[in-house]
Amino acid sequence: MNKKAMIAAAAAIPAALAGLTVFLTGGRRGNANWSKLRGWRYAHRGYHNKPLVPENSIPAFAAAIEHGWGAELDVHLLKDGTLAVFHDSDLKRCTGSEGIIEDLTLDELRELRLEGTDKHVPLFDEVLELFEGRAPLIIELKPWNGNHRALAKAVCRRLDSYRGDYCIESFDPRALAAVRRLRPDICRGQLAADFVHGSDEVILPGYQKFILSDLLMNFLSRPDFIAYRFEDRKKWILRALIKSGVQEVSWTIRRREDLVCAESDGSIPIFECFDPDE
């Protein structure tokens, strides 16, 4: 092989590797549920208005429905099998209490109140009842301490009898892989951001940040969509996947101009802190 051929071959390697990465992370196309999920805007943790209306509260979800929006929410599995809607595993930020929500029972959960108000931590059942037949949900699985399979199993079982429109997403690809095995027809999505260069302080080893940022576990979960942080959406792997036909979801949008930008690109917006209809 002459020198010119060697240079050409070497130059082709990055493109080949990029192509292989896009192929392996590409996910699944053509889920039948997209017709029910597209065209909606999704209020992040409900349409909350702090300090009066806490995030992930029944009033916040009711407000989203009243405005004609869907909602994004977070689900945890308690130690007695209860499914609760709450963002952090740590109780401190949203309830002022010490401890981990996964360590609670239903009776203990009922004693908590959200963000200094009289609002309780909703059960997953309560939120599903509120939305059924009215608006779609983006349901985020929040695993803790290796319970991703148990959480996925409990959520899928509950959704078997639900007659509303929804999809499931998670930052944990193991949870999505479990959903894939348990209920392959459910529309599922990989949550991600540029954990390597982004501003979030994610406590993970560098190699895990790289793997999650570049969606390298998609071959296990085969997601139907990628929910990527809006500020990081220029990440090369996300742009390549969108170009290949993968559905994008953008989180969390806090300005109307960003929402318009996302929607004009075909992305499904998850928003908070403003009314996108004004």
Angle at 148 between CA 143 and CA 151, to 5 degrees: 85
Classify the C-alpha dihedral 44-197-175-250 as positive or negative.
Answer: positive
3-state helix, strand, coil in the chain (%, to 5): 40, 20, 40
Ordered domains of the chain (ranges, CATH): 42-186 (3.20.20.190), 188-278 (no CATH)
Query: How far is it, in rounded angstroms, from Cα 242 to Cα 263?
Result: 13
Q: What is the pLDDT of residue 11?
A: 41
Q: What is the pLDDT of residue 197?
A: 86
What residues in the chain have per-residue pLDDT under 50?
Answer: 5-20, 23
Q: What is the pLDDT of residue 199?
A: 60
Q: What is the pLDDT of residue 12?
A: 41
The string over 238-265, giving b where at least 16 C-beta atoms fall within 10 Å of a residue's C-beta and e elsewhere, is bebbbeeebbbbbbbbeeeebbebbbee
Angle at 58 between CA 69 and CA 260, to 5 degrees: 25
The string over 165-202, giving b where at least 16 C-beta atoms fall within 10 Å of a residue's C-beta and e elsewhere, is bbbbbbbbbbbbbbbbeebeebbbbbbbbbbeeeeeee
The 10 Å Cβ neighbour count of residue 46 is: 29
Q: What is the pLDDT of residue 201?
A: 63
Q: What is the pLDDT of residue 18?
A: 45
Query: How far is it, in rounded angstroms, from Cα 32 to Cα 126?
Result: 26
Q: Alpha helices of the chain — where are they, by DSSP H?
A: 3-25, 34-37, 58-67, 92-95, 106-110, 124-131, 148-159, 173-182, 206-213, 218-221, 236-243, 256-264
Q: Which amino acid is at 154?
A: A
Query: How far is it, in rounded angstroms, from Cα 111 to Cα 106?
Result: 9
- Pairing mode, if any, of strands 188-192 and 166-170? parallel
* pTM of the predicted structure, to 2 decimals: 0.92
Asked whether the beta carbons of 92 and 114 are under 8 A apart, the reply is no
Asked whether the beta carbons of 247 and 51 are under 8 A apart, the reply is no
N residues, the chain: 278
Could you read off the pLDDT of 58-67 as tens digits, one per residue?
999 999 999 9
Asked whether the beta carbons of 173 and 218 are under 8 A apart, the reply is yes
Q: What is the pLDDT of residue 5?
A: 46
